[in-house]
């Protein structure tokens, strides 16, 4: 899981590094919740960022394919994959 600051910084880093945002969608996902998902791609690297809120619990999450996972580790985001 990401912090709010990590989420904002990672979105900015991806844009600054020239990644293409290939998907951006959001809306209500439960009776009392919503989410926004954005998928970023560069070559064969694929990262999906999710910002959601359900019952006043805010979550920032990242998913990545194996190539992008290694890139995120190199960028200092290993903690995002700790549970």
Residues 12-28 have pLDDT tens digits of 999 999 999 999 999 98
pTM above 0.75, yes or no: yes
- β strands within 1-83, DSSP E: 20-30, 33-42, 45-54, 57-64
Which DSSP symbol is given to 20? E
Q: Which of 38, 46, 50, 49 minimizes the C-alpha distance to 69?
A: 46
Give the strand pairing for 20-30 and 57-64: unpaired
Whether residue 64 contacts residue 46, with contact meaning beta carbons closer than 8 Å, is answered with yes
- Tokens read off for 73: 């580790």
Range in 4-13, 30-39, 73-82 the model is least confident about? 30-39
């Amino acid at each position: 899981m990401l912090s709010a600051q990590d989420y904002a910084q990672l979105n900015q880093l991806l844009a600054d590094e020239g990644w293409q945002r290939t998907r951006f969608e959001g809306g209500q996902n439960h009776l009392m919740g919503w989410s926004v998902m954005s998928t970023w791609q560069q070559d064969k690297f694929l990262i999906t960022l999710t910002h959601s809120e359900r019952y006043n619990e805010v979550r920032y999450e990242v998913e990545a394919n194996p190539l992008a996972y290694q890139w995120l580790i190199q960028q200092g985001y290993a903690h995002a994959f700790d549970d």
